[in-house]
């Protein structure tokens, strides 16, 4: 059901529904109109046959006055003399319109409908006697068959050439009229299935360029240096692809200019900062000298982290098969050798296509943060279906719920002392998230139910390395 709701909420599903309903209504409507047209044509042909029989019988009466009475008594094909007492109904304009074009006395005929019993011949001698009362009680009368359609009976009033008036009863078999919805179910099913297949194909074709554009946009978010989008397809699609490629080039240029600017600033500041540090060594006040040297160190660290943040988005490092367990074990061993309380608790055997250097910076940053703020770090790798998670947990006090996302903003430090021993420049987690998103992962923080803060890096259906040698 969830997948079905997702389908109908997508552009493919909406186009499919619109095309299916529109084409189905159009096709069924056209079929019904064609069927109605055929029905009208059949009725007109039937009226012409009735007019032919009437004209033949009237011409016979008009041309044979001596046989007129005998012919009226015996009747003709579907034509006979109207019995007395017949009720006249609504006029039959359609038949009169046809008779107007005929030669002879029928051209001035007046035609109206009447009860079909008026067209039945009188056969009293051939009818069985009416049942007695006992037989009537024993054999109840049969009900009329609901499928029975009585014949149509018409009253024709005209004058012969010699002025003799006639009233004739003209009968014809009833024509069954198809209802508005009288469509063959098999035909209707095949029609809807064919339209559904066609609508789905058209919807897929119409939404395919948008899907390619969405995929290119997602790939651009992961790798700004990726290949441009192919310029193919209809005119509108090519225009969109050209605009997308132009946007990618502008982003690449702006990012390159930013990185170059930061690199130039870092390089140009190194000399005066170093010179200033040497001069500070001559300050006689020891406490003042230490504070000033600390401020210079913070300035240098801020410049380095700003440059690293810019480079993290521009990096052109190629992906390779990376064994997450080996990478994390090496980072944990390095931190443990430095005296930190760090442990690698749960390996997974996951080998993914990632950027090794970027992943090393990412997890080193997270482990260092855990040790700095929480004194310990516990590293675990977990596979959940097709997803892969790396969890790094510390034993610190954690964060407030409204601070779990704010710490990813640049230059946000929840520790207000601004000391390099108790906190950084406020770019560490920003750089970590940029590195994670560059490789298609998400990074978020949460307060662990058993205490401490936990950083979670999660890949959803990541690209796995083919079977072969592993990189680290």
How does pLDDT run across 200-253, given as a tens digit for each residue? Answer: 888 888 888 888 888 888 878 766 777 888 888 888 888 988 999 999 899 888
Domains and CATH numbers, the chain: 223-316 (1.10.287.130), 319-472 (3.30.565.10)
Arithmetic mean of pLDDT over the chain: 81
**pTM as predicted:** 0.50
How does pLDDT run across 322-379, given as a tens digit for each residue? Answer: 999 999 999 999 999 988 999 998 788 889 998 898 899 899 989 998 998 888 999 9
Contacts with 432 (C-beta within 8 Å, 6 or more apart), sequence order: 362, 365, 366, 443
How does pLDDT run across 435-457, given as a tens digit for each residue? Answer: 888 888 899 999 998 889 999 99
């Amino acid at each position: 059901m969830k997948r079905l709701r997702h389908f109908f909420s997508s552009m493919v599903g909406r186009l499919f529904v619109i095309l299916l309903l529109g084409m189905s209504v159009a096709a069924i409507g056209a079929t019904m109109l064609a069927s109605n047209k055929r029905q009208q044509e059949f009725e007109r042909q039937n009226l012409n046959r009735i007019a032919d029989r009437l004209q033949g019988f009237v011409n016979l009466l008009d041309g044979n006055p001596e046989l007129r009475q005998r012919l009226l008594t015996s009747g003709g094909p579907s034509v006979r003399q109207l019995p007395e007492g017949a009720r006249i109904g609504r006029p039959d304009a359609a038949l009169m319109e046809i008779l107007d074009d005929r030669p002879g006395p029928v051209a001035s005929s007046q035609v109206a409908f009447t009860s079909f019993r008026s067209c039945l011949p009188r056969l009293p001698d051939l009818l069985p006697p009416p049942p007695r009362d006992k037989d009537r009680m024993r054999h109840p009368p049969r009900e009329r068959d609901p499928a029975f359609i009585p014949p149509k009976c018409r009253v024709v009033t005209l004058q012969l050439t010699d002025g003799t008036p006639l009233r004739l009863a003209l009968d014809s078999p009833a024509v069954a009229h198809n209802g508005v919805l009288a469509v063959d179910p098999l035909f209707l099913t095949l029609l809807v299935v064919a339209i559904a297949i066609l609508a789905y194909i058209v919807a897929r074709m119409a939404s395919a360029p948008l899907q390619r554009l969405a995929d290119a946009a997602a790939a651009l978010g992961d790798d700004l240096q990726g290949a441009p989008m192919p310029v193919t397809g209809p005119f509108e699609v090519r225009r969109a692809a050209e605009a997308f490629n132009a946007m990618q080039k502008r982003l690449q240029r702006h990012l390159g200019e930013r990185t170059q600017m930061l690199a130039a600033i870092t390089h140009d500041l190194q000399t005066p900062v170093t010179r200033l540090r040497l001069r500070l060594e001559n300050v006689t006040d020891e406490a003042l000298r230490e504070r000033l040297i600390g401020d210079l160190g913070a300035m240098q660290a801020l410049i380095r982290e700003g440059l690293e943040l810019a480079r993290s988005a521009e990096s052109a490092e190629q992906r390779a098969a990376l064994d997450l367990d080996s990478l994390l074990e090496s980072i944990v061993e390095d931190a443990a050798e430095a005296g930190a309380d760090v442990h690698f608790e749960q390996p997974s055997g996951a080998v993914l296509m990632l950027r090794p250097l970027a992943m090393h910076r990412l997890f080193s940053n997270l482990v260092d943060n855990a040790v700095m703020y929480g004194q310990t770090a516990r590293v675990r790798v977990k596979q959940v279906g097709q997803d892969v998670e790396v969890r790094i947990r510390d034993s610190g006090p954690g964060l407030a719920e409204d601070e779990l996302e704010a710490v990813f903003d640049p230059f946000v430090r929840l520790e207000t002392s601004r000391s390099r021993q108790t906190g950084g420049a406020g770019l560490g987690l920003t750089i970590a998230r940029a590195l994670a998103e560059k490789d298609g992962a998400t990074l978020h923080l949460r307060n662990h139910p058993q205490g401490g803060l936990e950083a979670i890096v999660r890949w959803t259906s990541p690209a796995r390395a083919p079977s072969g040698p592993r990189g680290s």
